[in-house]
Amino acid sequence: MVGTSRGGAVRVAAVVLAGAGLAAGVVPAANAQDTGAATAVSAVADQARRVDRAALDAGLRAVVASGGATAALGRVREDGRTLWKGAAGTADLTTGAPAAARDRFRIGSATKTFVATVVLQLVAEHRIGLDDPVETHLPGVVRGGAGISVRQLLNHTSGLYNYTSDPAFAYADDASFQTWLSTDRWKSRTLAELVAVAEGHPVYFPPGQDWHYSNTDYILLGMLIGKTTGRSWQQEVERRIIRPLGLSETTMPENDPTVPGDHTRAYVSLPSGPVDITLFNPTIAGPAGAGISTTADLAAFMSALLGGRLLGPAELAEMKRTTGLGRGADYGLGLERTPTPCGDFWGHRGDSLGYSSIMLGDDTGRRQVVLSRNPYDPAGLPAAEAAFTSLVTAAACAGRTA
């Protein structure tokens, strides 16, 4: 969504890396036999004993040690049980309150996986076709829509310009940054307005010919959900995913600039000291990155998704069908493959203004890893990123044989 850096001037760039019943889209999980359940519980308990929690805690501390992050959170979950959870750093620099594993944070582009799941549920209900032209469902909304498929929006092969790359979303000097702080951060934007920004630029390539991450794709998918269901994308994520799974700490805000409940706060480092940038109008991101959640809720979501409780086998297979194109070779339909020494994991990174996170689940749907950090001092960012990357692997493989 929006990132910050410090040099001769302040720069803030928007990069939002960045009719059915309530549970209609949920595929019931098979009931395990009592003996099988007991065996699974025993196996997880054994795995938990093998997890080096001290090493994972140290990994979180390494993320914040350089000053490149003010806080870091983490969780490893397997077969419905938490093997490890932790927190490091400070949630609020003003009060000095320490970060806690339960804290909420902005999830940025991890929102896209929720949106993609709703779209694939609509595909399963035969209300949308993956290879339908966008023009069929959103006539006249986007230039060239007759040649762009729903699938190409989901996997970023549409070629559409990424609206957050527009100069209107970049604040390249101190004066414009102050304008963002006092005015622009509170602006409300419609989905149509964000698409119009993208329409002011040429496409990157003809649809399907290459891969380019574009938040515009998911703005259109949010519009598609609204047109198909008669409800907003937020309402559909709520009724199809959040409520059925009991994700009580996950929200998909419309205009509310706050992060509810206990949460880590976001800051930008200036010569004069930290400036709190936690609050802003989330319509800048919408279905491309407006979500808020916790490590526990994201782990539960990934478990349900990859475990087959939200999508049928055919739709889940489509979600994992990667493009094989360029930098998006491992990108599927709102889901990205992440190879680790312990096998492939699937999930999504999420970057928002002052937040960076990743949610992952293994191919079996048994293990989930969720990590979050609050980037801060640019001088320490490389070290924080390296520590965060190392922690992803350590958490994925914790208690397992690589």
Q: Domain for residue 148, yes or no?
A: yes
Structure tokens at 254: 């419309």
Work out how many domains the chain is built from and give that number: 1
Question: Is 44 a member of any domain?
Answer: no
Query: Environment class of residue 19 by beta-carbon count within 10 Å: exposed (0-12), middle (13-18) or buried (19+)?
Result: exposed
What is the pLDDT averaged over residues 40-48?
53
Tell me the per-residue pLDDT of 208-238, one tens digit each, with 9 for 90 and over: 999 999 999 999 999 999 999 999 999 999 9
CB 279 within 8 A of CB 185: yes
What pLDDT was estimated at residue 233? 98
pLDDT at 44: 52
**Is there a domain that residue 303 lies in?**
yes
Residue of 349, 352, 14, 348 lying closest to 189 (CA atoms): 14
The CATH number linked to 85 is 3.40.710.10
| Highest mean pLDDT out of 44-58, 167-181, 351-365 | 351-365
By mean pLDDT, which of 35-49, 220-234, 287-301, 371-385 is the weakest? 35-49
Q: How confident is the model at residue 175 (pLDDT cuts 50, 70, 90)?
A: confident
Hey, what amino acid is at 227?
K
Residue 283 has pLDDT above 60, yes or no: yes
Give 86-119 pLDDT, tens digit per residue: 999 999 999 999 999 999 999 999 999 999 999 9
Residue 19 has pLDDT above 70, yes or no: no
Residue 363 lies in a domain: yes
Predicted pLDDT of residue 176: 84
Active site residue 188: no
Count Cβ atoms below 10 Å from residue 248 Cβ, excluding itself.
Answer: 12
The boundaries of the domain holding residue 314 are 2-20+49-95+106-397
**pLDDT the model gives residue 401:** 63
65 closest CA partner among 373, 399, 401: 373
Q: Which tokens in the block code for residue 216? A: 């515009």
The more confident residue out of 248 and 47 is 248
- Predicted confidence at residue 45, as pLDDT, reads 54
Q: Is residue 8 in some structural domain?
A: yes
Residue 101 lies in a domain: no
Return the structure tokens found at 145. Answer: 């829509």
Burial of 304: CB neighbours in 10 Å, binned 0-12, 13-18, 19+: buried
Residue 65 pLDDT greater than 60, yes or no:
yes
User: Tell me: the pLDDT tens digits for 319-343?
Assistant: 999 999 999 999 999 999 999 999 9
Task: Quote the pLDDT of residue 29.
Answer: 34
Distance CA 123, CA 151 (A): 11
Inside any domain, residue 43: no
Q: What pLDDT, on a 0 to 100 scale, did the predictor assign at position 177? A: 87
For the entire predicted model, the pTM comes to 0.90
Catalytic residue among 109, 165, 269, 293: 109
pLDDT band at 400; cut points 50, 70, 90: confident
Instruction: Classify strands 355-362 and 367-375 as parallel, antiparallel or unpaired.
Output: antiparallel
Rounded to whole angstroms, the Cα distance separating 85 from 53 reads 8
Is pLDDT of 30 > 90? no
Whether pLDDT at 242 is above 50: yes
What pLDDT score does 46 carry?
55
Q: What is the pLDDT of residue 40?
A: 46
Q: Is 29 inside any structural domain?
A: no
What are the two backbone dihedrals, phi and then psi, of residue 44, each rounded to the nearest 5 degrees? -65, -40
Q: Helix (H, G, I), strand (E, B), or coil: what is residue 268? A: strand
